Amino acid sequence: MRSRTPGRVGRPPVGPVPMPAPVVVAVVVAVVVAVLASGCTGGSRPSTSDSSSQSTTPEVSTASPTVSPTTPPPAPPRGACYRLSARGLARRSSTAPAVPCARLHTARTIYVGRPAATTDATPSPAPARPATVCPGKLAGYLGGSATDRHLSRFDVVWFSPTPEQSLQGAAWFRCDLVAFDRSSTLYPLPRSGSLKGVLAHPHALRTYGRCATAAPGTKAFGLVICARSHSWRAFDTVSLPGGHAYPGVSKVRAAGVGVCKSRARTESGGALRFKWGWEWPSAEQWGAGQHYGYCWVPS
């Protein structure tokens, strides 16, 4: 699994092989015995030809063995639902069975990718990479702005065939939508309706947003989806300058302080006294692609 979300890890028996059918060998031995019948005259006796001179070489057929082709396991269907745990998201493959979407589930497949078919005349293009494809599919599925998606507890994970399925010819990857409840648990997804375009609704973050049990930087601080009991909420993000290398704690901390304070004042309605918080990314989060931080206010 590969992901941008704090606390997430990056978001990736040999099946029976048909034995050749036994070679069928047919042996045909032709022995021809020629009896030369003489006339019944005089004292002549019938002469029998020497069987050794009439022996033949056995004929052996060379039938080719017949091998039944193996049918690859089918790819998972788009829209399938699964009951996954947060701990299982780091695995490259998942053997969890699909469950009816009308029952409790924590993951839903929003896209199934397949490598491009190739021929001898057409060179193989570079295969689609889940780490690139799946985040893009998530953005198109959820809708809303990039800030909306960053403020939500939604994320995407991807799975590939198991080693056994790969040996049988399976070639696909699936992108699954999940929502984090707390840092180490998943939030149940709706049992009816669709989440497609959910973040385009103005109040979606009241349910699926990023909230906390206490102010950022305190010991009681813990992330939770806004549908749960909470006392603080993230209301905006601040993009941070920098390249691949982490700029350092002092720089990322200072980069968002003034911006968050100004935006929190606006969020509070221009009050002279207000509380606010700034959560900057760690080096690990920066390396995973999170080049932004969160602005917080009491909720």
Q: Would you place residue 128 in the very low, low, confident or very high pLDDT band (cuts 50, 70, 90)?
A: confident
Structure confidence at residue 62 (pLDDT): 53
What is the mean predicted confidence (pLDDT) over 110-130? Answer: 68
Q: Identify any residues that bridge with 47 across adjacent strands, giving them in sequence order.
A: 36
In whole angstroms, give the CA distance from residue 82 to residue 188: 10
Phi and psi at residue 239, to the nearest 5°? -70, 140
- Supply 209's token pair: 């947003």
Residue 124 above 80 pLDDT? Answer: no
Residue 211 above 80 pLDDT? Answer: yes
Q: Would you place residue 70 in the very low, low, confident or very high pLDDT band (cuts 50, 70, 90)?
A: confident
pTM: 0.74
Q: What is the pLDDT of residues 256-289, one digit of tens each?
A: 999 999 999 999 999 999 999 999 999 999 999 9
Residue 18 above 90 pLDDT? Answer: no
Structure confidence at residue 19 (pLDDT): 37
Q: Would you place residue 63 in the very low, low, confident or very high pLDDT band (cuts 50, 70, 90)?
A: low
What is the mean predicted confidence (pLDDT) over 134-154? Answer: 97
In whole angstroms, give the CA distance from residue 131 to residue 139: 13
Residue 219 above 50 pLDDT? Answer: yes
Percent of the chain's residues with pLDDT above 90: 70
Mean pLDDT for all residues in the chain:
81
Structure confidence at residue 253 (pLDDT): 96
Structure confidence at residue 169 (pLDDT): 93
CB 189 within 8 A of CB 214: no
Structure confidence at residue 116 (pLDDT): 56
In whole angstroms, give the CA distance from residue 125 to residue 258: 47
Structure confidence at residue 66 (pLDDT): 53
Residue 41 above 50 pLDDT? Answer: no
Structure confidence at residue 170 (pLDDT): 94
Structure confidence at residue 9 (pLDDT): 35
Residue 296 above 80 pLDDT? Answer: yes
Rg (CA), the chain: 36
